[in-house]
Structure formats: structure tokens, C-alpha cells
Amino acid sequence: MKHRRISGRRAAVAGAGIAALVAAGVTFQTANASEPVNAANAARSAESVPQVRVLSAPAAGKLALRLTPDLGSGAAGSYYDARTKSLVVNVLDATAAKTVEAAGAKATIVANSLAELAGARATLKKDATIPGTSWATDPVTDKVVVTADRTVSGAALTKLGKVVDGLGAKAELKRSTGEFKPFIAGGDAITGSGGRCSLGFNVVKDGQPYFLTAGHCTEAISNWSDSSGQEIGQNAESHFPGTDFGLVKYTADVDHPSEVDLYNGSSQQITQAAEATVGEKVTRSGSTTQVHDGTVTGLNATVNYQEGTVSGLIQTDVCAEPGDSGGSLFDGDSAIGLTSGGSGDCTSGGETFFQPVTAALSATGAQIG
């Protein structure tokens, strides 16, 4: 019997990242017979200059991970430069810079170590866990960027300002015109008595079909139906706040392809999960606003929703709206994240946060497929 596909294909969903400069190619003139010594010297000189490698964002992320153990305490974050398609690694001294350059990335010497920035985040967690705030390490500016949404005012805003000022050059404060909130409400794809969300990635666990969506969705809804009202699944796990992912087991005989709906009659196949990289260009698919693109702006982000604090998130400038919750953040065939929440909308823009898919898979024991 042919499996029935759920209405609207499953949208698959979306901490400090990575970037670098592309080195200009060295062009050698043809040496003529009267200049053998000069040509040899030129060749030796060119060989001694480290070449910056042209990389995809996932490849840059893998290179950054390989470099981290070699740099030790000299590592200070990294990010991907999409313009030049290369990796930039922040370091604290010239010795670490040479290690980075020898690996084919660009080194930038900065003032703040990862340990110092982690200390700033710890101070924020202890003294400034205020609903309506978020923070994430930005390797491009070498600071922890703290954002306060429009609900933070009066004494709370004054307190936040004092804490950030006390961190000096390690942090900066920004304002958002929107309100940080989980994106649960309208949408298409999956529904229940508590609202409507977007399906994330289809996965397999112990040989059985499941799907991932946002944890704040599974906290509100335990039995899931498709847009026609047929029940398709029941919660197996739910995690929110702290993290934001839920695992749902299929209970109906329906098609569950490993792909993302592109809302143009086609889909993107998903074959793997990958870590996000700061500077990486990503795409989000959700049942309310469909498909939008943007850039990863931070990793290991913390957002203080009214419902509780969630940490370890991917921060982006991709727009999203209520009902997009649980939907996919991806880069090509790689699953990156599950839509958690944020501020703004797809008219004015805003900030958005995503639960890393790799963490959700690890915690649930599921696999993309």
C-alpha cells in the first residue's frame, strides 16, 4: 500500500563560530634563460608564504575544531568569512598565529581569551538573568554581545547596564525593538490541542521513525496531527527550558522522507547533521513564513524567555514568526538547528535562536534518516 505523505513536506530544522581570508594567488612569470637564480629565489620565497585555504563553511568548522587542541590556551574563537570563503581564527600571541597560518587559516591577534569571555558570560548568568535578555560570544568583535528586548526597562535595564559596564571591553549592550519569545502559535504541518508548530527533521531511533521539533512545542502538545487532522505521532521526549527540543514517535503509516520543504514545489534532501559556524549562510524553512535565508551570528547563545532560560543555542539574523517553531535550519544537505524563538518578524527582521540538531540527536540517540 502506498504511504500517504503528510500535507506540506516536513520542514527540517536550526554557540563560537569560524572565518578566514582568501590569499591572493601567486602568479609566476616564465623565467628566461638569463635569470635562473632570480627565478629560483622567487619560487623559494613563494613556498615560504603560508597560503590561506578556500573552504566551505562546514570545512572551515572542521578545521577550527582540529586547530583548537593545538592552540590550547592561545585559542580565542573563530569564524567563517563568507565573502572570502575562508577561516579566521582569533589568537592571543604570535606563536599561536603561526600555527593557524600553517594550517591554511588567517590569524587575528585579539585581547580577550575564550576563558575571559566565558567568565563574562558566567557573570551575566549570575547577576543579569533577566527575562527579555540574551547573550552570545561574537568572535568578530571579540566580545560577549548582550541584547535586551523591548520588555526590559526601568530598574531591570539599569541593573543590566551596570553589569555590562562592569565587564569593560569584554561585553557590549544592544537593544531589540521586538520581544524574545518562543515561536509557538500558528503554522502548518503539525498541530495539537495546545497550538500549532512546524515539523523539524525526520529521524530514526532503534530502527523506528520519529521526528524532531521544538521542546516548547512538545511541552504544550503531546499528540500530534497533520493539517488534515489525522493523528501522526505522540511525544517520546520533551526538553524545555534549559534546552529546546522534543522527539515524537510516528504512530501512523505515513511517508517520512529525510528532506526539507522549500515551498516552491521542490525539496532539499537532508543526509547529515552538522555544527553551525559563525558567518555561515543558512536557510530556515517553517510552516508560517516558509523559506528565508540569513547568517549565523553567534554560538552557545543564552536567551532568557519569560518561560525560562535556554542555553547552547545558535543565534542568527534569519527571520521567523509564531508557528515556525520546530522548523528547520539547514545548509545544503546538512541539518543545523530547530527553530526555538526570537524577536521581530519577516517584515521588519529580528534575531532568532535555534536548538543545535547535533545536541538533540546526541541526547535522544536518534539519527538523521
Q: Which of 86, 176, 216, 285 is catalytic?
A: 216
The Cα 365–Cα 369 span in angstroms is 13
Contact partners, residue 240, CB within 8 Å, separation at least 6: 214, 215, 216, 218, 219, 246, 307, 308, 310
* Secondary-structure breakdown of the chain: helix, strand, coil percentages, each rounded to the nearest 5: 25, 35, 40
| Active-site annotation holds for 255 | no
Cell digits of residue 367: 539519527
The Cα 284–Cα 268 span in angstroms is 11
| Active-site annotation holds for 216 | yes
8 Å CB contact between 115 and 73: yes
Q: Which of 325, 328, 334, 340 is catalytic?
A: 325
The Cα 6–Cα 228 span in angstroms is 9
- For cell 490541542, name the residue: 193
Choose among 345, 319, 346: nearest CA to 14. Answer: 319
Total Cβ atoms within 10 A of residue 122: 10
Q: Which of 138, 142, 244, 324 is catalytic?
A: 244
Choose among 130, 124, 257: nearest CA to 199. Answer: 257
The Cα 95–Cα 150 span in angstroms is 44
- Which active-site residues does the annotation give? 216, 244, 325
